[in-house]
Amino acid sequence: MTAPLFNRRHFNASALALAGGGFGMAALAAKARKLLVLGDSLSAEYGLPRGTGWVALLQKQLDQSHPGTVIVNASISGETTSGGRSRLPALLQQHQPTHVIIELGGNDALRGLSLAMTGDNLNFMAKAAKAAGAKVLLLGMQMPPNYGPEVTRQFAALFPATARATGAALVPFFLKGVGDDADPLRWFQADRIHPNEAAQPRLLANVWPELKKQLQ
């Protein structure tokens, strides 16, 4: 009679352990992080060996600091804020990210597109991502100085204005330490537009402090 009783107790204990493990797995699943990066050539490894861009470096960083975090890099070379705006709803539905990093606006500036349109697109994307339940990190950009100081100022102001209006986190200048370096040419490819491989850790260093806050 004692053996069956022992087996029954053993079964009950095992069942409880499995149930607890199930709850633990569910809790881990609930905490799983998925980052969607919506950017242009600066995030799409343009002109770089595969796996050396700042997004790939970020994945390696997350593998160490936040295991299980997955990055979906939906960046496309040449992308504008209008292109990002049109693609974002489907990306949110498909990937259901917990975090969205928006790195767009540089091509708007290079093409001389409407500042009002760029600002409207940035606001739309930040609000759409937040409405989908994601935390949003906006990477600020600056316009080349040849457009004149006033236009340059207005463009740079779009990013903090969007952050204030939407509650998104902000990296004030994504290319800090690269585009504003005393000798910036050493950080750029031959086209003088795209950061080289040596610059990628600097770009990550600009993003990481703000992103780390959102991951806690």
- The catalytic residues are 41, 191, 194
Count CA within 13 A, CB hemisphere, residue 210. Answer: 22
Residue 143 contacts residue 158 (beta carbons within 8 Å): no
Three-class DSSP category at 75:
coil
CA distance 7 to 187: 68
Count of alpha carbons within 13 angstroms of residue 8, beta-carbon side? 5
What would the two tokens of residue 72 be? 């979906």
Residue with tokens 């606006």: 105
Q: How far is CA 30 from CA 24, 27, 34, 61, in A?
A: 10, 5, 11, 21
Helices (H), 75-143: 81-95, 106-110, 115-131
Q: What is the dihedral of CA 15, 16, 18, 20, to 10 degrees?
A: 160
Q: Which two tokens stand for residue 156?
A: 């740079």
- Could you list the beta-strand ranges (E) of 41-105: 70-73, 99-103
